[in-house]
Amino acid sequence: MSTSEALRRAQEMTSDLIEIVPNATPPVAKIMDFGKYRYEQAKRDKIQKKHQHVTLVKEVRFHPNTDTHDFDFKTRHARAFILEGNKVKATVVFKGREITYQDQGKELLVRFTEAIADIARMEQEPKMEGRQMVSYFVPEKAKKKTVEVIKQQPKE
């Protein structure tokens, strides 16, 4: 139908003529209430944004001579971050002459990897970035679900 006829029909219905696909031949238009359309679109966008999951990168920092209690404490925090669905960045920071003990840093990250291996996998092998040795860990989907099921079971 012609544009003028479509506009006349829209005015009769007290609605708006909205162009949906302007580049088509002929252009596609729809008769509807534009305010209601914008409201519903905003509502859909809000719901979609609500269901969107944002993955954060949480960092756990160590030193080459980190004691066992501190290591265990930080590992528990890292496990909690992974169970929440976040990535974990494990960093060994070398200060001053500690840079000569890179083998201890690598050993510490290997121990950390073994401690969280049941719920996470290593995304990036340990590598040096300046005076820091960095490794990334991501949650494993299948194992994460089984851990959640175990947590939800009632204790006897």
Residue 147 is predicted with a pLDDT of: 52
- For residue range 53-82, list pLDDT tens digits in order: 777 899 999 999 989 999 999 999 999 999
Q: How confident is the model at residue 145 (pLDDT cuts 50, 70, 90)?
A: low
Strands 57-62 and 87-93: parallel
Identity of the residue numbered 155 = K
Q: 138, 123 in Cβ contact below 8 A?
A: yes
* pLDDT > 90: percent of the chain: 39
Give start-end residues of each CATH 3.10.20.80 domain in the chain: 3-49
Residue 142 is predicted with a pLDDT of: 55
Q: What is the CATH number of domain 3-49?
A: 3.10.20.80
Closest CA to 91 of 137, 132, 139: 132
Tell how far CA 51 is from the center of its chain: 12
CA distance 124 to 137: 7
Identify the CATH homologous superfamily for domain 57-152.
Translation initiation factor 3 (IF-3), C-terminal domain (3.30.110.10)
- Looking at the DSSP bridge assignments, the partners of residue 122 are 137
Does the pLDDT value for residue 144 go beyond 80?
no
DSSP-derived 3-state class of residue 53: coil
Mind giving me the DSSP string for 57-109? EEEEEE-TT--HHHHHHHHHHHHHHHHTT-EEEEEEE--GGGGGGHHHHHHHH
Residue 141 is predicted with a pLDDT of: 76
User: How confident is the prediction for the chain on average, in pLDDT?
Assistant: 85
Q: How confident is the model at residue 24 (pLDDT cuts 50, 70, 90)?
A: confident
